């Protein structure tokens, strides 16, 4: 009688894919709170969280109905979205939040 054992090792050589929302223009108000569509991220080995950074502000995705809520005081802010898979590979994309008078 022979017993054969196999051990499989899954190696993730592919970074996740991420897609950012389009730029968003919002009117200037007294509140710096802005809601915008969440970036979408996909990885072959499962779900990957998305983290956002703008200047010195770093925030983790807070999604309710595919919406992220953050505070922006500047007139034009570039937001970088990053997703990192379990193998440590990451993908990034960027989009702008534009606060303008009369929009």
Domains of the chain: 17-100 (2.60.40.10)
Q: What is the pTM of this model?
A: 0.76
pLDDT of amino acid 23: 92
pLDDT of amino acid 92: 96
Nearest to 54 by CA among 34, 78, 32: 78
pLDDT of amino acid 103: 45
Summary mean pLDDT of the chain: 80
pLDDT of amino acid 36: 83
Q: Show the low-confidence residues of the chain (pLDDT under 50).
A: 103
């Amino acid at each position: 009688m022979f017993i054969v054992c196999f051990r499989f090792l899954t190696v993730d050589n592919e970074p996740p894919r991420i897609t950012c929302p389009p730029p968003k223009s919002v009117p200037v108000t007294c509140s710096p709170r802005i809601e915008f569509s969440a970036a979408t991220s996909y990885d072959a080995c499962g779900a990957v969280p998305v983290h956002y950074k703008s200047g010195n502000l770093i925030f983790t995705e807070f999604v309710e109905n595919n919406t992220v809520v953050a505070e922006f005081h500047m007139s034009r802010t570039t937001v970088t979205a990053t997703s990192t898979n379990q193998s440590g590979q990451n993908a990034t994309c960027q989009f702008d939040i534009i606060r303008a008078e009369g929009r």
